[in-house]
Structure formats: C-alpha cells, structure tokens
Chains A and B, each alone.
Chain A
C-alpha cells in the first residue's frame, strides 16, 4: 500500500477554512498599543484556544517546521469552528467558571501581578466576526479574574484598509501582604500617628506596642490602563498610525522616612519605613507615517509621554523625640518629615528613518531623532516645621545670636525659601544613526554602522534661600542639625563659612559615538564565520573621565556539518580605557566652590579615596564566550544546550574589581503528534562580583585622599565577594485523546546569594569592637535563598460538540530566607527604627479551577 494511501487524515473542518489559514483578524498591521492581552490564568486555562492543528504547519512539507538554527516552531493552533451568517461568519470561545484558592493565599509572592480570589470569573471571551468578501473583521477579547485583574479589548477594521483598537486593562502588584502601619492615612499624602502615639513624644516600647497591635494589611499598586489605536493604509505603500494610552497607578508602597541615624545614637534619631502613596497617571501618545516601497522605506513618527502625580510630596509624623549630643542643650521639637514625589514631566520625540535598497543586495538606513524631556513641577519647601529647628544651647529655644545652631522654621517652611518656585529642568536628546549592509558576493555579507547620540542638560538648580542667604538643603528633615550642632546641611559665607554641603544640581551631559564594521562569510554550505569590530566613545561631563573608549572584536562561527546538528560559537573581546581619571569632579556642586568658603580647621575633607574607580568609568577587559548546540535527533524532537561565560576584570584597587558569570542550559522538546507535546528545561548560572572599599579613619574629616595615607589607611580596607547561583527547571506535558485533553507543567526556581567579606583590620568595620584582635579577619553573611516550585495539572473533557469542561489545579510552594528580615516575626520596632513591611514570607498555596468552555 502506498504512503499516499496510508496518510489520509480525516476532514475535520470545512476545507475552505483549512486552506485559508491566514485569517485577516490575525494580521497585525504593525504599530499598535499594547497589542498583547493576557493574564496569569490565560496560559494554563485558556484551553479552548490551544492545541495543534492536525493538518500541520504547511501543505508543502511534512512534519513540523524549524527555525534557521534548528529549533522546532510551536505547532499552529487548530482553525476555528466557523458559523456562517450570509456574507458574515463568526467564531470564538466563552470560558466561565469558578476559582477557589486555599493555603497561604494572602502571601505577596503568590499574588505577584495577579489577584486570585475565590469567586466566579470570566476566564476568556474571544469572539471574532468576519466578512471574507472584503476582509472586514471585528474581535472582542476579555478576561476578568477580579476587580483589579482584568482586561477588555475590541478591535475592528478591514484587511489592507484600516484597523481600530481599544482596550482597558487592570493589573495588580502586591508589594507587601504583611505590612503593619503605625500611621493613619495610608494611601494618602498625610500620614499621622495612630492609636494615641504622640508625635515626638513616644517611646520605642509605645511604638512597638502599636505596631504589634496593628492589623496586617496589604500594600499594593493597581495599574489601570486604557488605550486607543488607529492604523490606516492610505495606499499600498503609505500607512498612517496613531495611538493614545493613559495609565493610572493607585495604591501604596513601603518607602523611606529619615529622621537621622539611629545606629550610632541609641534612643535618638529615627529611621522610619513609611508608606508612600502612589497616585499618578502617564499619558502616552504616538503617531506617524510609514512608507514601504520597492526601493525606499520611510518612517516619520512622533512619540510623547506625559507623567502627572497627584501629589508633590507626602508628610509623615515621627513618634520619637530628638536629643542633642551637646550637654545642656535642647533639640527643637521636630515632629514632621516629608518626601518629594516624582515630578510631573513631559517627553517629546521626533524620529525619521529612511531606508534605501542598494545594488549588491544592499541596504542603507539613516535615522535622525530629536527629543526633549522636561519638568517644571512646583518645588516643595525645604522643611515642614513650625517654630524652630536645630539645637538650642543652654536649654533655650529662643532665636538669637546666642543660638547659632537654631533656625527659624518660618524662613524655611515655604517655597519663598527656594531660589525658584518651579523646577524648570530640561534634557534635550539628539540621535543620528546610519547603517549599511551589502552582499558583494552570494556568500559574503558586509555591514557597518555609525551612531551619534547626545544628552544635553539645559538648566541647573542652585539651592539658595533668599530669605536667609544660606546655600544648601536642610538635611534629614532638620533632624541631623537638631542632634549634632551645625550639621544642618547649610552653608552661609557669614554665619557658617566652613560648612561643606551640596549646593547645586549635577548636570550629566553625555555624548556617545558608536561605530561598527563586520562581515559574515559562508564557507560552503556547512560553515559561516563572522567578525565584527566595534568602537564606542563616551564623553560624559562632570564625571571622573571626560572620555572613555570601548573597543571590541566579536567572532562568530556557525557549523551545520551534520544534518542533525547546528553548532554556534561566539567569542567577544572588549577593552575599555579612557583619559585621566579625576577622582573628584564634583567640587563645583559643593559649598567649597562658593566665594566666602573657608576651609575648616585641618582642611576640607576629601570627597572620596583617590584610588576609587567607579565601575562605569573604570578601565576594563572583558572576555565573553557563548557556545550553543541544537540537536535534531528526530524530525519531531529537539535537544538544545548552551554554555556561556563572561569574565570582566576591572583596573581598580578600590571599587569593582571583577564580575564573572557562567551559565548552562539544556532543553528537550518533543512533538510526536499534533495531539502530544512534551518539554523539559534546566538551566544553571553562577555569578561572582568582587569589590573593595576602604573606611576613612577620620569620619570624613580627613583631607588626604591617598589610599594608604592617614585618612584611608590600608588597615581600613575591606573586600566583598558576592556570589549568586540560580537553578531553573521545568517540564510540560500536553496530550489529547480525542477531545479529552490532559496537561501538566512543573516549574522550579532556586536562587541563592551569599556575601563573603574580608577586612585588613577592625577599623574597616562600622563596629570595630565587635571583633576580637587587631589583625585582618573575614566572614560571610547568611545565604539568601529564594525557592519556588509550582505544579499545574489540568483536564478538559467534552460535554457536547461545542461545550467542554476544564478542571485544573495549580499548586505553588515558595521558600524565602532573607537575613535582612530576621527578627521581624517578633517585632517591627527596634529602638528608633520602625519597619512597616515584615518582608517576604514562605508559603504554600493552591488554586482550583472549574471552567466551562463554549465554542461560540
């Protein structure tokens, strides 16, 4: 019997549809707005839209198709069951059902980017209506898991003519599920102490009691986004497109709240973890014209983004009093701190790209782009206080010459205390890019590119109070200067001429030039080799170097000597170097650059150690290797593996010294039949970061910047080795018996990080007295471990021709070990340090689903 007789598949669907595989509704016209709609339920429970078309990928060839490197493409889904209505036809699926959760289902990691709840849900509505005659189509797609986890999308248009789409999407992000706030007003911009806690008058025990009694609450941010998109084919060559979206974020998240150090000053200061309100919106707009002709292609586009925050700041009360370090003095009764919110800002960008086909199968592409980022938001006052702040000598809080460290709030608590009322900041960007590709012979491809980019800062800000003549910003909500006399963060040529403080913003203009030239050469049918030389020049301003050059050589080799194997190997060598390294280019941003500055007794403290090399400014050598093999032992099976390594060596005695990563992956995929697919995946990677730093011996007062000098003595040097190891595993199984579908998947993630340290002497440590002896030492912090496993098992059974039921169970177990949160199960309040988030917790949770699938 002939093979042609043996392989007669049954006619499962109308032939007209089996042939018309490319339905217009699936054709995307290019530029769009968030065209992908999905949620965590969809991949595992959207059974009605999954599976493989038993007719395969193409009528032209048997079996499944592979990518150029040999990987199996995923099988195409079955063609839909279409119902005709005259000229129109429709198809789709409706999935309704119930989800039930159990176990630790309030856990933050379990609820990351999803809001599972025990309730009725709309798993999926996906309905398409089409008129094949002229390619007119419409599609509605929706899913609703809960109030803050849902999406709705509508698309309509005509193939080759126009396309309109609109969507709504809500997505949650849980940041903490075990937060305990000592403040009222969470989610707003005024946090007031709760349950009788007295601002500036509570003890640590009072606060601990209130924290302990506070109910656990969830801190989360919900993103709600709406969008509209429009594409129109003006002619076969010209397309116009426009899109608009608006995303609002609402919620609250743990954030900082400084009131001066507490570690070195027991029962003083305040390190508070407050709750920041999130209430903002971002409007994105875009539009353009695109031309695609035989010889030319063009794209002229505009994109804009507009961020608006409801608040300019939020305030919080501190429960703790401050005490001066000077005997007999008294601290001002500060009770309120503030945090600035992200400023409202605008972004505009115009871009034009022209591409021309050239002889020798070549192409030249030129791009020019200009952008502007600006923000002119209202600035906030330097401090939120009434009366005075600072230290009153002799127990008096009376302003006057007798109290040089006491300051009048009224001269600082309004925006009249600022050198200007709004930010008025701007960054202009310029981009020019040219790329050329030529194929001078059928087996040779040559390519090159040149790119120029600039970021120009157009304004700056000088921190000057015209009411007082002071320069600088009040530090730590005024608390630092209310504990230590004079450490208020302000310079005045008359009253505090030796105060070293930051007084202006730091513009970081940058110009980059990138050039590359490369070629690929096909040697016969089996081998391709390639080489690319690249040069990158960075010219930053106000950084440690004015010029940094990266030079790299990349070699590639692809081998297909064996029909069942594709081997790829890449090697890159990169070296970075630059002009002279200036360890302190920031003097102009400090009061030491102002007229009237008088160095303190002993001289102006050094900004940092001279031997420091910041990692992005440091000279560096990099070797990078990638080896990849794709094995095709059978037509329906792929085994792929990879090895990679990246070794970076930095020329730095102080700073980052090395960063090395190695990794390996192994994957097996099998698609023995349209009804069966299986895969197994495993990956391992390891990274090691080594750095060194040195403790100054004079608490910042030393003037000698040399490593090994009196200020940065060798005895104070320390080294850190950060090791990170990750393991990933996964397996999937999907099998159909008739219309019954069985599926299962397992995923495993293991991440372990550990920091080991060594020090030359106890003076390298923040608490030298905690270690015995005077010599070097070493140790390591406990390992930080994050391990998550999940298992999904599902079955779909047919009820009628168009109705099926899906049952699935999703089980997830997470183990988290993070020493930063040790002791938080006992209390979130330690001395004057108050934490709100109790940290990530281990968990076991389960999700059961029963869903009815109806083919529409």
Chain B
C-alpha cells in the first residue's frame, strides 16, 4: 500500500476511535463511578437547608423522607445529580438541587456519608409482616420472579459487601425510613424513576412486587438497627 494512503487510513481510524460519542442529555450511566472526595465541612455548611426534611445529621425523622446519614458518598452524589436532571417526580428536591454545582454535590455527599445513622423511633410492624419482609429480602420469591434484595444490597442491608467502584452507588437500606422505601419502590415499579442505569435495574425488580410485598420489605428494613448486625 502507498505509505501516504496507509498513513491517512491509520489516522482516519484512530481519529474515529478517539472521538467520544456525542452524548445527548438523558440518563446517567452509574456503571462507571469514581470515588467522591468532597469537603465535609463545606458540605455541613451547605446542608443547613437539607436538615429541614432530612433531619439533623441526615437522620430524617419524618418517615416519608430518606435518611442520608451513613450512605456512601457516591450513592448520595448520584441521587443529587439525578435530582438536578429535573425529570424526577415533583418534589422540593428538584428546585433545591438545580443550583448545586458538582463541587457542592461532592461536599454534601461527603458530609452526609460521614454521619452516623440513628435507629428508627417508630414502633415496628406486626411480626408476620416483618417475617415476610425478611424472607423477601433474603430469599426473594422465585415463583413470582422476585429476586432477593440482598444480592445487591448486602445480606446485612448495609450495601454491597465489596463497596468498590460502581457498587458504591448502590444504597445501604438498613434502618431506612419505611414510608420512604415504600414510595421509592412504587415509583420504580410505576416507571416514575428512569434516570439512571441503576433506576433501570430497580424498575425491573420492582415490577415483580405487589403493594403487600413492598410494605413488608420496607417495614423489615426500617426495623433494623443501624450498624453491623
């Protein structure tokens, strides 16, 4: 082959490989996540607005709001980025997240991740409900196509045991507020949360859950004391 033609062909190929795909705004790919190292002090200062709903140190008292304390920073950062997209169901978070910079998000996530989660103050649900929730979480229901939650969220519900890479974007559920978990799972099931690769996973999972199963799982998770079992 003529050397000039060969060089042109090689340059053509290398250029076409190197040019990144022209991404349009859409959903967030959470399969590639790098570690978040923000400034917790700056995050604490920025969090004054958050505590109104999410409670002191990120331990929401109102069961409809999620506890942020003790979550991995990468998960929290991902949620804030998704909130910024503006396509989540109507909530104050849409407006609150809109002005946040990437640095703000990292700082907030680092701050809440550094806080300790506190136990629920609500009375636990009926033992039969808790038992069913525990069974669904640990074993799923193969006959109905329900996978066990522990496969991704850990056998102790503290998130994946090997919390490296993209696994750090998967949340810890232990001691999470029950009403929040119920609404979140229903939103997944109904296709209202479709903004990231992790949302797509949960949409598929939640489609196999009926209301009773959702309630049972949420109740059991809420009843678990924070920390290692």
Which A positions have Cβ atoms within 8 angstroms of B? 1-11, 15, 18-19, 54, 56, 59-63, 672-673, 676, 735, 737
Q: Which residues of A contact B27 (CB under 8 A)?
A: 8-9, 11, 15
Specify the main secondary structure of chain B where it touches its partner: helix
- Chain B residue numbers with a CB within 8 Å of A1 are 102
B33 / chain A contacts, CB cutoff of 8 Å = 2-4
Q: Which residues of B contact A672 (CB under 8 A)?
A: 17
Bound complex: CA A182 to CA B172 (Å): 85
What string of 1s and 0s marks CB contacts (under 8 Å) between B102-120 and chain A? 1001100000000000000
Instruction: Identify the interface centre among A7, A11, A61, A735: most chain B CB within 10 Å of its CB.
Output: A7
- Contact flag A8-B26 (CB < 8 Å), given A2-B81, A56-B31, A62-B32: yes
Verify A2–B106 contact, CB threshold 8 A: yes
Scoring B residues 14 to 47 as 1 if CB is less than 8 Å from chain A, else 0, what string do you get?
A: 0011000111111111111110100000000000
Residue contact B102 to A10, C-beta cutoff 8 Å: no
> A2–B82 Cα gap in the complex (Å)?
13
CA distance A520 to B137 in the complex (A): 33
> What chain B residues lie within 8 Å of A5 (beta carbons)?
28, 81, 102
Task: Tell whether, in the assembled complex, residue B106 and residue A59 are in contact, meaning their CB atoms are under 8 Å apart.
Answer: no
Contacts of B74 in A (CB 8 A): 4
Question: Does B198 belong to the interface (CB within 8 Å)?
Answer: yes
What residues of A have a CB within 8 angstroms of the CB of B25 in the complex? 8
B81 contacts A10, C-beta separation under 8 Å: no
Check A735–B77 contact: CB distance below 8 A: no
Contacting residue for B23 out of A3, A4, A8, CB 8 A: A8
The 6 closest A-B pairs by CB, nearest first: A11-B26, A62-B31, A10-B24, A3-B34, A7-B29, A59-B197
Contact B17 A2 (CB under 8 A): no
Known contacts A19-B204, A59-B198; is-contact A4 B81 (Cβ 8 Å) = yes
Pairs across A and B, CB under 8 Å, 11 listed = A4-B77, A7-B31, A7-B32, A8-B23, A9-B23, A9-B29, A10-B23, A11-B24, A60-B31, A61-B166, A62-B165
CB < 8 Å neighbour of A673 from B17, B81, B105, B204? B17
Given contacts A5-B81, A59-B197, A59-B200, 12 further A-B contacts (CB under 8 A): A2-B33, A2-B105, A3-B34, A4-B28, A4-B78, A4-B196, A6-B32, A19-B200, A54-B21, A62-B32, A62-B165, A673-B17
B122 CB to closest chain A CB, in angstroms? 33
State the CA gap A15–B87 with chains docked (Å).
14
Cβ B197 vs Cβ A10 within 8 A? no
- Nearest A-chain residue to B202, judged by Cβ: A59
* Bound: A11/B166 CA distance, A: 21
Interface residue from B21, B102, B106, B194 paired with A15 (Cβ < 8 Å): B194
Beta-carbon nearest neighbor of A16 in chain B: B191
B203 contacts A by Cβ under 8 Å:
yes
Q: B90 to chain A: closest CB distance in Å?
A: 20
- Distance to closest chain A CB from B25 (angstroms): 7
Q: Enumerate B64-78 residues with CB–CB distance to A below 8 Å.
A: 74, 77-78
> B164 → chain A, closest Cβ, in Å?
12
Interface centre among A3, A59, A673, A676, by most chain B C-beta atoms within 10 angstroms, is A3
Q: Is B169 at the interface (CB under 8 A from chain A)? A: yes
B residues in contact with A59, CB < 8 Å: 31, 197-198, 200-201
Closest to B16 in A: A737
Q: Which of B17, B26, B198 contacts A10 (CB 8 A)?
A: B26
- Give the shortest distance, in Å, between A115 (CB) and chain B (any CB): 34
Smallest beta-carbon distance A627→chain B, Å: 32
**A635 → chain B closest CB, angstroms:** 11
Q: How far is the CA of A109 from the CA of B29 in the complex (A)?
A: 50
Nearest Cβ in chain A — how far from B105, in angstroms?
A: 7
